[in-house]
């Protein structure tokens, strides 16, 4: 009985990890693709304008930390990241606008994946018993990635949006970025922050869940 449970957990963990890797890599690809289209070919020169996951995976952020979170702390907080896409804003014709478009391309790619998962899952809901579980996982994970990356804290995507929204200097941005991961690690373990994030993620998930349910009827 215990081995059967372990096998089920192993299967679910591996599926969740594969969805995570695909979602993270498409997120980073979207940054690179948008920058390239807007005139900055730095990501292209570094081999980042590709859907090959190896180009976007970070050993610690995409392999070690996520696997530890999934299998050592099942049901807990998933912590991970992809290899950052390097850009040179001096190559953009409209620096502020193009940096913002490149920045939000990542989170919006995750929302697009959540939408595709909702549509595909809803249409295929009656064909396999595990469809709801699989596509539900895809919706949830991509919403989490989108919301998390849009938090207004450097060097997250939301931090770049905030920098332009409040006119923050690059010096201040990088000074905050030095401590932001420590702030994040502390904050996400505080119950009020966890409640707030769950509420926002539930709110963002709602339209995707509704599309899924409408198509699954």
Catalytic residue chosen out of the listed positions 28, 99, 133, 171: 28
pTM, whole model, 2 decimals? Answer: 0.92
Q: Specify whether 28 is catalytic.
A: yes
pLDDT at 21: 96
CB atoms within 10 A of CB 167: 7
C-alpha 83/C-alpha 48 separation (Å) is: 10
> Mean pLDDT in runs of 10 for the chain (217 residues)?
65 92 97 98 97 96 92 77 96 96 98 97 79 89 96 94 93 91 85 92 96 90
Among 26, 66, 73, 70, residue whose Cα is nearest residue 50: 26
Domain residue ranges of the chain, discontinuous segments joined by +: 2-216
Confidence (pLDDT) at 1: 45
């Amino acid at each position: 009985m215990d081995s059967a449970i372990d096998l089920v957990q192993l299967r679910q963990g591996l599926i969740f990890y594969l969805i995570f890797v695909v979602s993270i890599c498409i997120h980073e690809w979207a940054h690179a693709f948008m920058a390239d289209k807007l005139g900055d070919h730095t990501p292209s020169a570094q081999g980042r304008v590709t859907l090959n996951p190896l180009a976007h995976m970070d050993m610690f952020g995409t392999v070690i930390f996520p696997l530890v979170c999934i299998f050592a702390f099942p049901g807990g907080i998933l912590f991970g990241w992809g290899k950052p896409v390097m850009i040179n804003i001096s190559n953009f014709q409209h620096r502020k606008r193009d940096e913002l478009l490149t920045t939000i391309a990542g989170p919006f790619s995750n929302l697009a994946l959540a939408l595709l998962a909702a549509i595909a899952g809803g249409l295929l809901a009656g064909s396999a018993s595990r469809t709801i579980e699989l596509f539900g996982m895809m919706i949830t994970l991509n919403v989490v990635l989108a919301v998390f990356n849009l938090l207004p804290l450097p060097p997250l995507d939301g931090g770049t949006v905030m920098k332009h929204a409040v006119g923050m200097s690059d010096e201040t941005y990088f000074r905050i970025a030095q401590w932001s991961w420590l702030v994040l690690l502390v904050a996400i373990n505080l119950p009020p922050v966890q409640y707030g994030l769950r509420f926002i993620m539930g709110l963002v998930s709602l339209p995707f869940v509704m599309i899924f349910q409408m198509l699954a009827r």
